[in-house]
């Protein structure tokens, strides 16, 4: 009897471990990254041919957070290499999310809780990441590097202007190669040490946010409690970013922090994913006057695909927000920033992006406007602002 019970316990333990390793991560992601039900989009042949000539760029996805092999096509989530290629995406910026508060919302959050610890454990991240935001950022950078190494040259981890130029030669020659860039969503992985920025740069980081859903040591979040701008540590981090050539992402930053960054820096900034308040009046979006200043100083704004950015997540709603942004800031300052795989519910994954092209055509966009918004603006911005490194 004891032997029988021991055998049964071993079987149950193996089944439990198999569930935790192979099934739980997928189910957990499915509960967060939803593809809303919709009929297949019917893309006219001439539109598809035009879309295939575009240089499509997405400035923000959180795909590195999850336990999927991004080199294999999946029905879970929104982004993987096969679907990027199907959607004719040339550049994907991958974000590292390292901390998010329980019950996160657009109005007010504290830093007292953290959902990502549970995610790190359930996705079987290394133990060193469970208690260190810096190690979580390092781990996700290395995930992207590993995917690139295993991709047979189809995914390039771009860490410098030189890398990007090399990628463009291949892409312009007709190869379906995809460039992956690495961004940290909020600079709390610095853990109060400016030198940690250097460590992240060595791992390939080229873009850095300052805050996420809560105030941190660098300053106030758009969704925090203080509303403050840059702290002394935030200013020191901004200076080091300038020295290292790191592009600053103002997504989730408080209005005062955005103003402080614009006042202190002579380099254009990126808003990797968001919307425009005049088009979608929610707490996720900055006021139109501040968005105009971002554009006036050479910045680029990625328009998202989820309700907090555009209110209406249909292709028509997204394109309407894009049109508003163009009219507000000028066509040279508008791009795409999906927030795919960022606990968002969307009506298209990255393989279906031709529906945006078709909708822009149907809403009377000029060809030049479509090309710029879909990726040429981002191509120019990255060429001008990526760091030059050995």
**Each residue's pLDDT tens digit, 268-294:** 999 999 999 999 999 999 999 999 999
Q: How does residue 7 score in pLDDT terms, banded at 50, 70 and 90? A: low
More confident residue, 194 or 14: 194
**Each residue's pLDDT tens digit, 313-332:** 999 999 999 999 999 999 99
What pLDDT shows up at residue 300? 98
* Domain at 33-385, CATH class: alpha beta
Please determine, for residue 10, whether its predicted confidence score (pLDDT) is greater than 70: no
Q: pTM surpassing 0.75?
A: yes
What value does the mean pLDDT of the chain take?
A: 94
**Each residue's pLDDT tens digit, 145-201:** 999 999 999 999 999 999 999 999 999 999 999 999 999 999 999 999 999 999 999
Phi/psi for 206 (5° steps) reads -120, -15
**Each residue's pLDDT tens digit, 30-58:** 989 999 999 999 999 999 999 999 999 99
What pLDDT shows up at residue 201? 98
Q: How does residue 130 score in pLDDT terms, banded at 50, 70 and 90? A: very high
What pLDDT shows up at residue 25? 77
């Amino acid at each position: 009897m004891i032997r029988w019970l021991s055998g049964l316990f071993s079987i149950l333990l193996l089944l439990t471990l198999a569930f935790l390793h192979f099934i739980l991560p997928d189910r957990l992601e499915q509960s967060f990254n939803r593809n809303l039900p919709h009929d297949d989009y019917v893309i006219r042949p001439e539109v598809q041919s035009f879309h295939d000539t575009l240089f499509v760029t997405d400035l923000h996805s959180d795909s590195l957070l999850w336990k999927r092999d991004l080199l294999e096509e999946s029905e879970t989530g929104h982004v993987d290499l096969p679907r990027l290629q199907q959607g004719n995406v040339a550049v994907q910026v991958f974000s590292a999310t390292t901390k998010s508060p329980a019950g996160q919302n657009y109005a007010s959050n504290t830093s007292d809780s953290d959902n990502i610890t549970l995610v790190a454990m359930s996705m079987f991240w290394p133990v060193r990441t469970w208690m260190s935001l810096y190690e979580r950022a390092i781990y996700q950078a290395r995930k992207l590097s590993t995917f690139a190494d295993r991709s047979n040259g189809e995914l390039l981890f771009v860490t410098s202007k030189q890398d990007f130029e090399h990628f463009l030669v291949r892409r312009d020659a007709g190869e379906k190669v995809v460039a992956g860039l690495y961004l940290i969503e909020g600079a709390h992985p610095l853990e109060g040490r400016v030198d940690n920025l250097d460590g992240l740069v060595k791992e390939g980081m080229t873009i850095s946010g300052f805050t996420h859903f809560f105030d941190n040591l660098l300053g106030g979040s758009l969704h925090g409690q203080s509303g403050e701008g840059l702290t002394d540590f935030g200013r020191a981090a901004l200076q080091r970013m300038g020295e290292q050539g790191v592009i600053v992402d103002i997504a989730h930053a408080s209005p005062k922090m955005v103003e402080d960054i614009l006042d202190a820096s002579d380099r254009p900034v990126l808003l990797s994913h968001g919307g425009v308040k005049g088009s979608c009046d929610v707490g996720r979006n900055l006021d139109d006057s501040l968005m105009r200043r971002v554009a006036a100083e050479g910045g680029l704004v990625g328009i998202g695909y989820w309700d907090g950015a555009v209110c209406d997540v249909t292709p028509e709603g997204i394109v309407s927000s894009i049109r508003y942004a163009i009219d507000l800031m000028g066509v040279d300052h508008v791009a795409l920033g999906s927030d795919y795989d960022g606990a968002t519910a969307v009506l298209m994954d990255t393989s279906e992006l031709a529906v945006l092209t078709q909708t822009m055509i149907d809403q009377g966009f000029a060809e030049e406007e479509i090309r710029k918004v879909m990726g040429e603006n981002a191509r120019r911005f990255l060429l001008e602002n990526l760091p030059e490194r050995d």
